[in-house]
Amino acid sequence: MIIITRPDITDAELDHIRERIEAVGLHTHLSRGEKRTIIGCIGDESLLQELPLRSIPGVENVLAVLKPYKLASREFSVNRSIVRVGASAAIGGQELVVIAGPCSVENRGMLRETADAVRGSGARILRGGAFKPRSSPYSFQGLGREALALLADVRAEYGLPVVTEVLDTRDVDLVAEHADMLQVGARNMQNYALLSELGRVQRPVLLKRGLSATISELLMAAEYIMAHGNRQVVLCERGIRTFERATRNTLDVSAIPVLQRETHLPVIVDPSHAGGDAALVAPLAFAAIAAGADGLIVEVHPSPEDALSDGDQSLDIPAFDALMQRLPAFAAAAGRALTLDGTTALAGAAVA
Amino acid sequence: MIIITRPDITDAELDHIRERIEAVGLHTHLSRGEKRTIIGCIGDESLLQELPLRSIPGVENVLAVLKPYKLASREFSVNRSIVRVGASAAIGGQELVVIAGPCSVENRGMLRETADAVRGSGARILRGGAFKPRSSPYSFQGLGREALALLADVRAEYGLPVVTEVLDTRDVDLVAEHADMLQVGARNMQNYALLSELGRVQRPVLLKRGLSATISELLMAAEYIMAHGNRQVVLCERGIRTFERATRNTLDVSAIPVLQRETHLPVIVDPSHAGGDAALVAPLAFAAIAAGADGLIVEVHPSPEDALSDGDQSLDIPAFDALMQRLPAFAAAAGRALTLDGTTALAGAAVA
Amino acid sequence: MIIITRPDITDAELDHIRERIEAVGLHTHLSRGEKRTIIGCIGDESLLQELPLRSIPGVENVLAVLKPYKLASREFSVNRSIVRVGASAAIGGQELVVIAGPCSVENRGMLRETADAVRGSGARILRGGAFKPRSSPYSFQGLGREALALLADVRAEYGLPVVTEVLDTRDVDLVAEHADMLQVGARNMQNYALLSELGRVQRPVLLKRGLSATISELLMAAEYIMAHGNRQVVLCERGIRTFERATRNTLDVSAIPVLQRETHLPVIVDPSHAGGDAALVAPLAFAAIAAGADGLIVEVHPSPEDALSDGDQSLDIPAFDALMQRLPAFAAAAGRALTLDGTTALAGAAVA
Amino acid sequence: MIIITRPDITDAELDHIRERIEAVGLHTHLSRGEKRTIIGCIGDESLLQELPLRSIPGVENVLAVLKPYKLASREFSVNRSIVRVGASAAIGGQELVVIAGPCSVENRGMLRETADAVRGSGARILRGGAFKPRSSPYSFQGLGREALALLADVRAEYGLPVVTEVLDTRDVDLVAEHADMLQVGARNMQNYALLSELGRVQRPVLLKRGLSATISELLMAAEYIMAHGNRQVVLCERGIRTFERATRNTLDVSAIPVLQRETHLPVIVDPSHAGGDAALVAPLAFAAIAAGADGLIVEVHPSPEDALSDGDQSLDIPAFDALMQRLPAFAAAAGRALTLDGTTALAGAAVA
């Protein structure tokens, strides 16, 4: 932490600032410039986190030297993390992983049809919403427990691990019983009660970036889960909110290389929510892989115009298959692999 | 709902769109322009909410005619709502209400000292955090249940109703037992599980606008609480996230008159979080009242530089008193009242 | 300037960084922390402005200690600047100044009618566009030279100084001949050719903040004009672009106190463009004055629904008069004055 | 244009609205819904552009049916436009085009060295700034005329067409004499005087998107140039301003497919300014091509740490060559070509 003092600081104020810092166990180091004196704080910067340094008289500005995340940081783990999902999928390795499925689980038939199709096209994990965070209380809220049971059945039938969103701390154990991976939605990225609870289960978590969360805040949300005991976190860039309204959100494709520099955790991209438009899914998916993403999560519905949620941005089955056919070339250009046949990413792992 | 069709739409596509709309119970009305045919949908627009109209072939754009909120809308209630908090406060009437207190309840002494001081300066409701949503898992997370007990004690001692934040659906009943008003923080504005749960208790809710929530989304969050049975909602503008970093957030002062046009619910402003800087609290508080806010919520701490959270933006006791002394002139200019002595806003109500 | 080095920096890299800094004439000062070595640069920080420090191997981050603006900074001038406009107006003093008039000068009749009315209501400066920056090439582009002549005539007739926008470096001298103050529109805030040219005339400049300009960038735009020789700059907050679309722009009311801390230049507010809606002009004007603005610029049209530009946000004459009647109470609450009768803000100054 | 009326509209108000619309030559068409009456305006919507419809009593909202751009729109030209630059380059065809060179022309030696290197690596057009829009008046402002002469010399020597920025309407003819393509920088995207002037020269224009310009506004800026007579416009996405500060700007990669849907004009991407960091240039360039861009513009400097501007984001010569080696695989995956040897994109065109 570096403290920049006001030009008119008094010696007494300077001494007081130093005392406050030294009282929590750091050393201070003065550097007197022509216009400002700068106080360097040497030691464990996290000890200063609780100190409202800007409110101390004489302080003009406070600049952080270190990043606030630890377990999530690149310095914590030299190797990139690989997060295994179910028996057959692993995110973060050389092989890219595509997660696909309907926004909401609507009934058994559509879920089976979608699972069968996306597996055939090369998806490795099935997505499907049971509890839906809808902006209107009058909209379809998901089938809840019934959907969880359907997901578990279809998982067994097709051998695809499943990921589904959890909205409520009270549902974490229930969802963890039925799903291989638990999703935190964008609107809950800073729901700290939920993040803490997810730190206590041993299930991989798919953590979506909040609509206006900085990359640093996304990593701090991951840090919450990790600090509470669960290190299996996959980050998901899904578009941020900007002034532009031609698309539902603005895919922050730069976040992919920035995250790879800052963290060892895998990073996937959701091109469906980013663009909010089925016609944009393919170009955004290509861009994500080109920029180095470890995978994708794509909304697929057998009949988007009949979907109970997110139909506007869902691909139908042929469109998803067409997308998948084009991905391996982008993966190869990016120095990665994407295998479309039934061979799994995990050497020797068997798909049921 | 108005549907704008593509220039190259076929008659079969046009018929299909009309059939889909009529199937849910609305009438359609065609208007053939020079370049586009427009389909007006006549009837209960909410029936179309589930229909992914943009995904139907031939549709170029879909424009909503009506607002998605009902219970929260100005049309639902001709009169502005007044939300009573505890026995002695009412938000939304002619008299403005100031809520003040520490970011976090740190111990009994500081809470009593602050309560005593802010009541003396004219605050009508005491704020104090028990469960704190901190961006770092390593920061002080609040005293939890212990803080709730302290708040209840101080409420009894000083006769000030209290408001405190609830983070977890599992804590709603507990918090409702100890507090007069439950706060939903900005990061939980779209935590629908929490909003639904708050709809089931009969306690007023202070609903803070999310960092990147539109005014319409704020009203939809209120709608969630109201649709689940609790109509006592007070909205709070607390700054939105923009590109500007000279301030922690950007106070959207325009939201005050826009909300007053759109909803019957009271609107207060949090100048402490908006600016994130004690020096900005007063000018932002003045601006809020000038623009028509129904009240303020202000962070006050006996010694900001020792605060365990938000010290940078907390006023000390003399600064809060100085702020309060200046508010009545702005209230009067805005055609409202702000009484600083012990007389309460509710005729005949007694402050213990 | 403070340079934070990478954890794995070599001694040779460290030496190289120091040499680069010392080569431009500053001293360096090392502070070795537990994880990072920090290099403080002591001396004239502006000498480092040209140096791409981040591109030097071993550099992780570069933090500025000083602000990039000098002439515009609060440190440059202890006293707040007062900018005189024409013979009868002065912005930045105790008395607030209201500028009013039509978006565009449409013809002599409407300009005379508006000038007469706004002067009668207490406005001190007349605004009126001659060259209009319209987002469509097919929209009315202003009357150009003809409008300048009309403005000059009306100025003489009513004794009101006039402000009008200049869009093209080639028009600066022409506009300066006809107007008392030259406006730089939001879209030209970083048109450096225009700013430089305005530095060469001795006319006050009304510099509007760009739609996505930070406060620091606004001050750097003022610095351009000042560094080229013209110190008569008035800043104007007119709303920034954010994700919110309920209003045309988001009035950044916090910018007012922040600018007053950072600069000695006067700051006025444009509530017409900020909200983009006539119904929002009054509450935003009140908020601006409450937050400490030195004045307002308001669009007024005798018949907004017939206006050739910005009719949606223009006040008609009775609405402007009603607004003016309410302003003195807010000015007084803010510790300022706003005199509505013919007495000018400048003691002893005569209105022609 | 569709007009939504207020629920309490009177018949007289409704008649008045219709009269206003019909007075400019359109027909109106009423659609009475349960809560609102909607007025459809049939005819040439552009005639309504000047009418401040929202300010007419009884109007609640106004929704545009058609896009405001005409010449730039996809409907105007069925075929995608190809813009030829100099004798040897063409942007918008099957072959992708890479523009490369230094931010600023600093001297003859560095310009020759860069031109030679980037040509050898496969760039088709040389960039180099003569007039620099710097945010500080104290920074290097470019060599101006001297740089134009150097660009013209190097163009002749290496047979590379050159693109350079023009800042001032007074310089348009001069720059057009020396350069093959004129660039409008992001900060001048809505400098309508400059856009109009560029409409009068017959030189291709590289139009960069403004920091906070919507896609629609970018197209309206192109429309300005086109409506004034110059149809050779290439659009450039170079990052927009958002809340995220981990990168200098946020590359809006979605803008590429959206622009291709909306316009026939070519679209290239500037990964250097988007990320503001040399380390991000490659992943953003890959993403841009994957999303369908027609080319790239990349900053290259023989020694970035000695660059007089933008050194932080400039690639050195080996890094640029390494980038180019990887691009053809992405181009091929995207169904395009990028030829690195001396063969030009124009069949039969000869490189001097």
pLDDT digits (tens, 9 = 90+) for C198-239: 999 999 999 999 999 999 999 999 999 999 999 999 999 999
DSSP-derived secondary structure letter, A90: E
Signed CA dihedral, C223, C228, C233, C238: sign only: negative
Calculate mean pLDDT across residues C303-320: 93
* Rounded Cα distance, D31 and B19, in Å: 19
List alpha helices for chain B, DSSP H.
11-23, 108-121, 145-158, 172-178, 192-198, 215-227, 255-262, 271-275, 278-290, 317-333
- The gap between the terminal CA atoms of chain B, to the nearest Å, is 53
pLDDT, tens digit, 9 for 90 and up, residues A269-278: 999 999 999 9
Which residue among D2, D4, D43 places its CB closest to the CB of B38?
A: D2
> Which of C26, C31, C244 would best serve as a mutation to test chain A binding (most A beta carbons within 10 A)?
C31
* Partner chains of D (3+ C-beta pairs under 8 Å): A, B, C
* Residues ≥6 apart with Cβ < 8 Å to A188: A133, A167, A194, B190, B191
ipTM here: 0.94
pLDDT, tens digit, 9 for 90 and up, residues B34-84: 778 888 888 887 788 778 888 899 998 888 888 889 999 998 888 999 999
B236 and chain A in contact, CB less than 8 A = no
Radius of gyration of the CA atoms of chain C, in A: 23
- In this prediction, residue C81 has a pLDDT band, given cuts at 50, 70 and 90, of very high
Q: Which range has the worst mean pLDDT, B4-8, B162-166, C141-145, C274-278?
A: B4-8
* Partner chains of A (3+ C-beta pairs under 8 Å): B, C, D
pLDDT, tens digit, 9 for 90 and up, residues D239-264: 999 999 999 999 999 999 999 999 99
Calculate mean pLDDT across residues A300-308: 94
Asked if B49's CB is within 8 angstroms of A138's CB, the reply is yes
pLDDT, tens digit, 9 for 90 and up, residues D285-343: 999 999 999 999 999 999 999 998 888 999 999 999 999 999 999 999 999 999 997 54
Pick the CATH number of C2-63 from 3.40.50.2000, 3.30.70.1140, 3.30.200.20, 3.10.450.50: 3.30.70.1140
User: What's residue A80's pLDDT?
Assistant: 95
Contact status, residue D125 vs residue D154, Cβ threshold 8 Å: no
Average pLDDT, chain B: 93
Which residue among B2, B7, B35 places its CB closest to the CB of D38?
A: B2
The yes-or-no verdict on residue A33 having pLDDT over 80 is: no
User: What's residue D337's pLDDT?
Assistant: 97
Looking at per-residue confidence, does D113 or B68 come out higher?
A: D113
Shortest distance between the Cα of A246 and any Cα of chain D, in A, equals 7
Calculate mean pLDDT across residues A185-211: 97
User: What's residue A342's pLDDT?
Assistant: 54
Asked if B224's CB is within 8 angstroms of A55's CB, the reply is no
**Contacts of residue C75 in chain A, CB cutoff 8 Å?**
7
Calculate mean pLDDT across residues C37-62: 85
Looking at per-residue confidence, does C275 or D346 come out higher?
A: C275
Domain span(s) for CATH 3.20.20.70 in chain D: 83-333
User: What's residue C342's pLDDT?
Assistant: 54
> Which of B4, B35, B37, B38 would best serve as a mutation to test chain D binding (most D beta carbons within 10 A)?
B38
C30 and chain A in contact, CB less than 8 A = no
The yes-or-no verdict on residue B345 having pLDDT over 70 is: no
Shortest distance between the Cα of C331 and any Cα of chain B, in A, equals 9
Contact status, residue A4 vs residue C63, Cβ threshold 8 Å: no
C137 and chain A in contact, CB less than 8 A = no
Shortest distance between the Cα of B88 and any Cα of chain C, in A, equals 28
- Span A83-333: which CATH code? 3.20.20.70
* Rounded Cα distance, A323 and C125, in Å: 61
The yes-or-no verdict on residue C48 having pLDDT over 90 is: no
Shortest distance between the Cα of A46 and any Cα of chain C, in A, equals 12
Calculate mean pLDDT across residues B290-308: 96
User: What's residue D75's pLDDT?
Assistant: 85
Which one, of C312, C272, C276, lies nearest residue C98 by Cα?
A: C272
Question: Is residue D272 within a helix (H) or strand (E), and if so which, with residue range?
Answer: helix D271-275
Contact status, residue A90 vs residue A289, Cβ threshold 8 Å: no
pLDDT, tens digit, 9 for 90 and up, residues A249-300: 999 999 999 999 999 999 999 999 999 999 999 999 999 999 999 999 999 9
Looking at per-residue confidence, does D53 or D162 come out higher?
A: D162
Q: Rounded to the nearest 5°, which phi and psi values hold at B215?
A: -60, -40
Contact status, residue B222 vs residue B263, Cβ threshold 8 Å: yes
pLDDT, tens digit, 9 for 90 and up, residues B121-130: 999 999 999 9
- In this prediction, residue C348 has a pLDDT band, given cuts at 50, 70 and 90, of very low
Sheet holding C59-63, edge to edge: C27-32, C37-42, C2-5, C59-63
User: What's residue C50's pLDDT?
Assistant: 76
Calculate mean pLDDT across residues D228-242: 97
User: What's residue D346's pLDDT?
Assistant: 42
* Rounded Cα distance, C280 and C301, in Å: 16
Domain span(s) for CATH 3.30.70.1140 in chain A: 2-63
Which two tokens mark A168? 């409520």
Asked if C244's CB is within 8 angstroms of B215's CB, the reply is yes
User: What's residue B342's pLDDT?
Assistant: 54
**Contacts of residue C137 in chain D, CB cutoff 8 Å?**
192, 196, 220, 223-224, 227-228
Which one, of A289, A279, A319, A237, lies nearest residue D329 by Cα?
A: A289
pLDDT, tens digit, 9 for 90 and up, residues A75-113: 888 899 999 999 999 999 999 999 999 999 999 999 999
pLDDT, tens digit, 9 for 90 and up, residues A137-150: 988 899 999 999 99
The yes-or-no verdict on residue D349 having pLDDT over 60 is: no
The yes-or-no verdict on residue B179 having pLDDT over 90 is: yes
Q: Which residue of D has its CA nearest to B61?
A: D65
- Whole-model pTM? 0.94
Percent of chain B topping pLDDT 70: 97
Provide the residue type at C55 as one letter: S
pLDDT, tens digit, 9 for 90 and up, residues D23-78: 888 888 888 877 788 888 888 877 887 788 888 989 988 888 888 899 999 988 88
User: What's residue D168's pLDDT?
Assistant: 97
Taking phi over 0 as left and psi of -120 to 50 as alpha, with beta for the rest, A327 belongs to alpha
Q: Which range has the worst mean pLDDT, A153-167, B188-202, C128-142, D221-235?
A: C128-142
C258 and chain B in contact, CB less than 8 A = yes
CA distances from C271 to A15, B242, C148, C279 (A): 46, 19, 24, 10
Contact status, residue A284 vs residue A269, Cβ threshold 8 Å: yes
User: How many CB pairs (< 8 A) connect A and B?
Assistant: 128
Shortest distance between the Cα of B207 and any Cα of chain D, in A, equals 23
Asked if D258's CB is within 8 angstroms of A254's CB, the reply is no
Which two tokens mark B217? 């989304």
User: What's residue B157's pLDDT?
Assistant: 97
The yes-or-no verdict on residue B347 having pLDDT over 60 is: no
**Contacts of residue C193 in chain D, CB cutoff 8 Å?**
131, 167-168, 170
- Name the maximum alpha-carbon separation found in chain C: 76
